[in-house]
Amino acid sequence: MHVGRRGETPSGDCREERPLKTALITGISGQDGSYLAELLLSKGYRVCGTVRRHSVAAEQDTRIAHIRDKIETFYADMTDSASLYRVLLATEPDEIYNLAAQSHVRVSFDQPAYTFETIALGTINLLDAVTRIGKPAKFYQASSSEMFGSSPPPQNEQTPFKPKSPYAVAKVAAFHSVVNAREQGLFACNGILFNHESPRRGETFVTRKITLAAARIKSGLQDKLHLGNLRARRDWGHARDYVEAMWLMLQHEQPADYVISTEQSWSIINFLEEAFGRVDLKWEDYVCGDERLLRPTEVDHLRGDSSKAVRILGWKPAVSFQDLVSEMVEHDMVLAEREAACLT
C-alpha cells in the first residue's frame, strides 16, 4: 500500500487532510511486531517497520505477509546506527516501538557479544538517532521479566534486577539507557513484559516447541520431545494482549515504566499437561530430559505484579493460560495435519 507524504491532500479536494499518526516498529516481522502492527492499523496509524535483509524470506516474514500491502518496511539493523538514522528520516514517526533484538535467552549464552550489541547498543543507537533527528517522538522499549532473575516473586517496578543471562544483562543496560533518555526529556517508557506467547512464537522457544511437538506426535510425525528444566515457572500471557499495553503506555500523559503480566505462574510441566491433554496424550510418555538444553544459570520463578498498569493504564489481560495453550495447539495441529497429508 502506497502512503503519500504526511498531510498530502488528494487532487481536487480542497479540504486540508489531517496528518496521519505514524508509528515505527523495529522488528516488525517478529511475534510482537506483527500483532502490534495489526493493532495500530486498526486504529488508523500509518505503520512502518524495520526488517533485516536476511529475515525477509525466513519464518518471520510469514507473520506479516497478510498485511504487507498495508505497511511500509525498511531495511535496517540495530547494530548499524546509520541505517536507523535513515529510517527515522524517511518515516518521521510520532511513536517508536523498539522490539528488535536477539530474543532467545538460551542462545545468549552462546552469543553474548552479539546479544549485547543488538539489545543494549542497538537501543542506544536508536535513542541517539531520535535525538539527532530532533523531531519529538514517543519511545517504547521492550524490556523483559528476565531482568529480575533471582529476585523472588511477585516482581514489580520496584523489584531489584538480578540478571542471570547475557540476554538479561543486555536488557538491563537498555532499560537504564531509556530511563536516562527520559530524564533528559524524551517521552520514553519501558514495558517490562513477562512471557507472552502465541501461534506466531518462534519454533525454537519452549512453549512453541511443546505445542508443535504435541501436534506432530499426535499426527505420527514425531516420537519424542527433548526439553531442559521442567520445573521452571513462568507468568505466561498472550502476545496480542501485551501489545495493547505497549500502545497504552505511549497514550498516557506521562512516560513511565510498567510491569505487564497475568499475575499467575505455571511450570513447564503445567504447560506440557495442558498442551498434550488437548490432543489426548500423556506428556510423560514422550518427553525426555536433555541436559544440553539447560541454561548455565537458571531463573526458577517469574510472576509479575502488574497492578500499576491496571491502575494507571486500565490494562488487563483478556486471554487465560488455558485458552492460550489451546489456541497454540489448534494452530499447530493444522500445520501437522497438513505436513502429514503431504507425506501420504
The gap from C-alpha 272 to its chain's centroid, in whole angstroms, comes to 22
DSSP string over 18-75: PPPPEEEEETTTSHHHHHHHHHHHHTT-EEEEEE-GGGTTSGGGGGGGGGGGGSEEEE
Grid coordinates representing 335 are 500445520
Domains and CATH numbers, the chain: 22-200+236-264+302-320 (3.40.50.720), 206-229+267-297+329-343 (3.90.25.10)
Question: How many Cα atoms occupy the beta-carbon half-sphere of 320 within 13 Å?
Answer: 4
Is 167 one of the catalytic residues? Answer: yes
- Give me the pLDDT at residue 60, please: 52
pLDDT at 17: 53
**Among 170, 161, 190, 167, CA closest to 178:** 190
Q: Vertex 318, ends 277 and 248: CA angle to 5°?
A: 140
Please give the pLDDT value at position 222. 96
The pLDDT tens digits for 301-310 are 999 999 999 9
Residue 144 known to be catalytic: yes
Block residue for cell numbers 538444553: 293
pLDDT at 10: 38
pLDDT given for residue 15 in this prediction: 45
Which one is catalytic: 45, 167, 242, 258?
167
CA separation for the pair 242, 142 (Å, rounded): 11
- Measured in whole angstroms, the distance separating CA 254 from the mean position of its chain's CA atoms is 23
The residue ranges of the chain whose pLDDT is under 50 are 1-16, 19, 56-57, 59
What one-character DSSP code corresponds to residue 288? E
- pLDDT score, position 20: 77
Cα separation, 190 vs 216, in Å, equals 38
| Catalytic residue from among 29, 81, 144, 198 | 144
Is the pTM higher than 0.85?
A: yes
Q: Which member of 38, 72, 95, 146 is catalytic?
A: 146
CB 337 within 8 A of CB 279: no
146 carries an active-site annotation: yes
- In this prediction, residue 8 carries a pLDDT of 38
